[in-house]
Amino acid sequence: MLGGWAGRGFLWGWTWGCDLPLLPQGLERTERENFGGGNTAWEEEKLAKYAHSETRLLEVLESVCGKLDFACHQLLEQSEDHVESWWFQGQQQHPDFFQWLCMDTLKVCCPPGTYGSDCLPCAGGHQQPCSGNGKCDGEGTRTGTGLCMCSLGYGGSFCSECADGYYEAARNESHLICAECYQACGRCSGPEDSSCLRCKRGWALHEHRCIDIDECGTEMAHCRANQFCVNTEGSYECRDCAKACVGCMGAGPARCKRCNKGYQRDGAKCLDVDECATAQEPVCTGAHEVCENTDGSYRCVCAESHVRRDSECVEDKLPDTPAKGFFDEVTEDEVVVLQQMFFGVVICALATLAAKGDMVFTAIFIGAVAAMAGYWLSERSDRVLDGFLKGR
């Protein structure tokens, strides 16, 4: 039983991948375990052997899927009846669980080296598909084409040849080793630059060596009108001419065929024309505008201390603001302090006069205290005093 199950991979995964070894881990983990009670011999005699018990099956299945592998859990749930049927009834008749479930029952997998609904041999044969130098499309599944997808450096229908740019470093009846040619060689007999049999595009064969072709010196290069050609190994690049040029033979303003608008020839170079300094009449005619030279052109900007508003240059100054009163910047907290100081001075003056025994001032003092207390508690006191302090 264990040999058949542990010797094969199990298929749970996103696409019933037939090579994921998950169930064998649970089998190996539980191989030497038991029910875990105090009297294992009695339990196995009265209940069942642990090796074939439902308890062990549940413990094995716990290790099949990862906690977050929802697809695996779904597939396991869908095949629960098949798994239990094999566990309790089919182990002796079908010791290879993988073949019984995946191939014979569910028909989602094929033996190694085969593919498709009928499990046909892969290209190159089922014993060594693709000569061991590639992968068979759909191998081990009921899908795919069976065609070879060769590894890097190998080619041919069965991956039994070296691809372009590689040569046979070793070969026997069952194996082929391909190594990379010198970088310029399309085909070669060895790794040296003198072993070329054919060159890659952009190179020319000369005495078994591949020499770079200068496309810029021939009609092989195709660049746009305002570009120039730069040769590279095996190819070429098209780069833009300098801004000063209309057509060029190389980089920089000294390789121009003609000078662009806003530039003029000065010796071998096309240099910028300063329109602001050379113009016979002012080029910027707006009020308070001045000319500013740029590379190949110019622009009209506002004179110093002026800014552009509504397409016109106007003097840059702050708008007129009304003069502030003495108390305009007093904060709310400062108003409260001034209120306390004002009423404090009044109360102190009345208290001083009342202390001299003058009944009139005594009466005024008591009245002022009562009036101040009532007014202080009113909702309008702060606004009235604030207006008074700010001259309103």
- DSSP for 85-114 reads HIIIIITTT---HHIIIIIIIS--B--TTE
Domain total in the chain: 5
Identify the pLDDT of residue 174: 86
Arithmetic mean of pLDDT over the chain: 78
Question: Band of the pLDDT at 157, cuts 50, 70, 90?
Answer: very high
pLDDT digits (tens, 9 = 90+) for 261-290: 999 999 999 999 999 998 888 899 999 999
- Tell me, rounded to whole angstroms, the distance of Cα 354 from its chain centroid: 85
Within a domain: 383: yes
Q: Is 138 left (phi over 0), alpha (psi -120 to 50) or beta?
A: left
Q: For residue 8, tell me if it sits in a domain.
A: yes
Does residue 208 form part of some domain?
no
Range of the domain at 352: 334-389
For 320-355, the pLDDT digits (tens) are 666 665 556 667 766 666 766 676 666 666 666 666
Q: Are residues 153 and 61 in the same domain?
A: no
Residues 18 and 97 both lie in one domain: yes
Task: Indicate the pairing of strand 256-259 with strand 245-248.
Answer: antiparallel
* pLDDT score of 217: 87
Mean pLDDT of the 354-373 span: 62
C-alpha pair distances (Å), 380 with each of 38, 143, 369, 392 = 88, 89, 18, 15
Does 352 share its domain with 371? Answer: yes
Q: Are 82 and 58 in a shared domain? A: yes
Q: How confident is the model at residue 293 (pLDDT cuts 50, 70, 90)?
A: very high
Q: Is position 118 within any domain?
A: yes
Residues 51 and 84 in one domain: yes
Please give the distance of CA 42 from its chain centroid, rounded to a whole number: 61
Neighbouring residues of 200: CB distance < 8 A, sequence distance ≥ 6: 165, 184, 185, 186, 210, 234
152 inside domain: yes
The SS3 of residue 6 is helix
Determine the Cα–Cα distance for residues 103 and 111; give it in Å rounded to an integer: 8
Check if the beta carbon of residue 287 is closer than 8 Å to that of residue 305: no
Determine the pLDDT at residue 17: 46
Least-confidence region, from 4-13, 249-258, 293-302, 324-333 = 4-13
- pLDDT for residue 50: 66
**If we measure between CA atoms, which residue out of 146, 141, 187, 183 comes closest to residue 163?**
187
Q: What are the structure tokens assigned to 121, written together? A: 């041999």
Whether residue 223 contacts residue 229, with contact meaning beta carbons closer than 8 Å, is answered with: yes
52 and 25: one domain?
A: yes
Q: How confident is the model at residue 21 (pLDDT cuts 50, 70, 90)?
A: very low
8 A C-beta contact, residue 43 and residue 55: no
Residue type, 386: D
Give the C-alpha distances (Å, rounded to integers) separating 303 from 173, 273, 286, 313, 379: 88, 22, 11, 8, 56
